[in-house]
Structure 1
Amino acid sequence: MVERESPLGPAFEPGAFPNHAGDTGIRLSEATPARIVEACAWPGKEQALRDAIARATGLRLEGTAANSAASSKDAAALCIGPGRYLVSSARQGLFETMRAEIDAETGTVTDLSHGRTCIRLEGSACEWVLSKLFAVDFHLTTFPPGTGLATAHHDIFAQIHRSGENRFEIFVFRSFARAFWAALQEAAAETGYEVR
């Protein structure tokens, strides 16, 4: 398999970019190499699909809430609609593993690795920075770890997963990745940031 190139290209510039006070409030990175798939259940097969995702990734998805999600050190699954999940992993072969677990009676699995990118934010100022870009309440009480949602920043569609108290993954279309990255850097200039 040919390894995909980052859509960020020369816009991805590792280093520290502190604010005027010399602080760096968040860390930005691209989750690479990220494997991203969408798994969809046929009507009535939602639990069978969640069980297949658990076997393939070790992630246990609870309930049917539209904002349900689960994550581990190297994988994440996010409900993006009724019976639909966006699953990502740093491990090779995610699509093949998922396809082996999800039979034709349960649903479908589509490889999105070449169509999406995952940008990760970590740090105490994540909520502040993200609130500049999205009309979403990111407070822990309303957007706790293990939840997610689909929204947009202007015309850039984004699926946001909160994988920890101070950690978010944002999935965007590859064609918009560089524009979103630039907007994110601008929003983070006030707090300062590191790129890793």
Structure 2
Amino acid sequence: MDELKAITACAGLLPLTLGAATLEEVDAGRMTSLSRFDDGKALSDALEKAHGMALPKPNRATGKEGCRCIWFGRGEVLLMGPAPHKFLGKHGAVVDLSDGWACVELSGAAAVDVMARLVPVDLRDTVFKRGHSVRTQVLHMSASITRVGVDRFQILVFRSMAATLVHDLKQAMAAVASRG
């Protein structure tokens, strides 16, 4: 009988460094969609009690590496890291999305220039500060991008698009590196 082995979305593709940019796959832990039932106050309070962070405002993230919550659309956030506390389900819909998303981190002095070739959003640190998050396109892929540090971006795409994301980022990294 064949033995099945779990592999990550970017298995064999990463890590990759070209010029002043590095691309690595991130183990985001559990990924759980939380969709509020009402104005979100009860869910925010429950999230604060259970995981030490409030619901993020639109286009923002709360928490830190290992336990982060990012805005994921109108009335929806993505809890990354821990398993959601069971009482969160009293205040909103709780859906496990862990196997559906690929998570990578682009870092380095060239990260903003690399992203500028692929996204229709100004990600310079004067506009898009640490803790800012956006749902946008990376070329033709739907994505979530969060600034998680100086010259560090967390990028989420559907798992089925992981190899395409790596390919497109690699091409942009090579183009930026060739400048100089």
TM-score w.r.t. structure 1 length?
0.79
Unaligned runs of 5+ in 1: 18-23
Query: Aligned partner of 2:67: which letter?
Result: A
- Percent of residue pairs identical: 28
**1:87 equivalent in alignment to 2:72:** no
Aligned match of 1:8: 10
Cα displacement (A) at 1:57: 3.1
Unaligned runs of 5+ in 2: none
Q: In the aligned structure 1, how far is the partner of 2:130 from the partner of 2:86?
A: 29
**1:29 equivalent in alignment to 2:14:** no
Aligned match of 1:41: 36
Find the residue that maps to 1:150 and give its secondary structure: strand
Contact 2:28 2:103 in 1 (8 A): no
**1:133 equivalent in alignment to 2:125:** no
The ranges of structure 1 where at least 4 consecutive aligned residues each deviate by more than 6 angstroms after the TM superposition are: none
* Selected match of 2:89 from 89, 97, 103: 103
Query: Aligned partner of 1:57: which letter?
Result: H
Aligned match of 2:164: 179
Q: In the aligned structure 2, how far is the partner of 1:71 from the partner of 1:190?
A: 34
Q: Cα deviation per residue 1:132-171 (whole Å; 9 max; x = unaligned)?
A: 0001111112111111110112331100111112111011
TM-score w.r.t. structure 2 length?
0.85
Question: RMSD in angstroms over aligned alpha carbons?
Answer: 2.2
Contact 2:10 2:102 in 1 (8 A): no
Q: In the aligned structure 1, how far is the partner of 2:135 from the partner of 2:16?
A: 30
Q: Cα deviation per residue 1:11-51 (whole Å; 9 max; x = unaligned)?
A: 23x4654xxxxxx312211112632111111022x122223
Q: In the aligned structure 2, how far is the partner of 1:10 from the partner of 1:149?
A: 28
Aligned length: 174
